[in-house]
Amino acid sequence: MLKIVVCVSGGGTNLQAIIDGVAQGAITNTQIVKVISNNQGAYALTRARNAGIQAVCIAPKEYADREAFNQAFLQEIDQAQPDLIVLAGFLVKIPVQLIRSYGNRIINIHPSLLPSFCGTGYYGLKVHEAALARGVKITGATVHFVDEGMDTGPIIMQKAVAVKEGDTPEILQKRVMEEAEWLLLPWCINLIACGKVKVENGQVLVSE
């Protein structure tokens, strides 16, 4: 059984896709053991509690400094003893210590086709604003392992989504979620739970 901790900051639609995937069998052999948010008001916490999953908030502003927050966050993760940490719209910089302790056991979903529109300042709607400003005709979403860089870790899976005339950032975000994110993240978790994903020389190999 793959024990996963899901980290969230906002609405939690990707978390919901994971909860539904586990409930409906699209994600096999997986248990969501805890949901952690940095934001008390995140609707994702309500989604977790509605599904009977332990949901906790660790807010940076409640700690004296970043180091104290990082320590509390690490402790919360370690207590759950996860096999995999899933960043599903988690907008906090992950402490390096966590990345080192959980090498190739942290995955993130990013709402573009990496390496486009990523790095500092590119999150949520901002990614879609940038894609529209650049005039790309195709965008999408990427699930990747987290390394010490920003959105630079080994790519597990990507899905392309068309940009259409008249798109606003909100319309494009919704299409990318519906056509890519909510499918990709459950697929990737299931592949990992089935032992089909390995990383070799910084590249992801997926077996059938």
Residues known to be catalytic: 110
Task: Please answer whether residues 103 and 126 qualify as being in contact, where contact means their C-beta atoms are separated by less than 8 angstroms.
Answer: no
Query: Which parts of 126-165 interact with ligand GAR (CB under 6 A)?
Result: 127
CA distance linking residue 178 with residue 185, whole number of Å: 12
CA distance linking residue 193 with residue 172, whole number of Å: 30
Which range binds ligand GAR by CB under 6 A, 3-11, 47-55, 95-103, 200-208?
Answer: 3-11
Tokens describing residue 80: 């759950």
Task: Please answer whether residues 109 and 88 qualify as being in contact, where contact means their C-beta atoms are separated by less than 8 angstroms.
Answer: yes
Tokens describing residue 126: 């901002």
Query: Please, what is the Cα angle at 139 between 153 and 151, to 5 degrees?
Result: 15
Nearer to ligand GAR, 8 or 32 (CB): 8
Figure out which of the listed residues 70, 116, 181, 204 binds ligand GAR, where binding follows CB under 6 A: 181
Query: Which parts of 39-68 interact with ligand GAR (CB under 6 A)?
Result: 44
Which range binds ligand GAR by CB under 6 A, 26-34, 48-56, 108-116, 154-162?
Answer: 108-116
CA distance linking residue 146 with residue 164, whole number of Å: 31
Nearer to ligand GAR, 2 or 88 (CB): 88
111 binds ligand GAR (CB under 6 A): yes
Angle of helix 43-50 versus helix 13-24 axis, rounded to 10: 20
Figure out which of the listed residues 5, 6, 7, 12 binds ligand GAR, where binding follows CB under 6 A: 12
* In the complex, minimum distance from the CB of residue 71 to ligand GAR, in angstroms, rounded to a whole number: 23
Q: Which helix (H) or strand (E) covers residue 192, if one does?
A: helix 182-193
88 binds ligand GAR (CB under 6 A): yes
Task: Please answer whether residues 188 and 156 qualify as being in contact, where contact means their C-beta atoms are separated by less than 8 angstroms.
Answer: yes
The count of chain residues that interact with ligand GAR, using the rule CB under 6 A, is 17
114 binds ligand GAR (CB under 6 A): no
Can you give the binding site for ligand GAR, defined by CB under 6 A?
A: 8, 10-14, 44, 88-89, 109-111, 123-124, 127, 177, 181
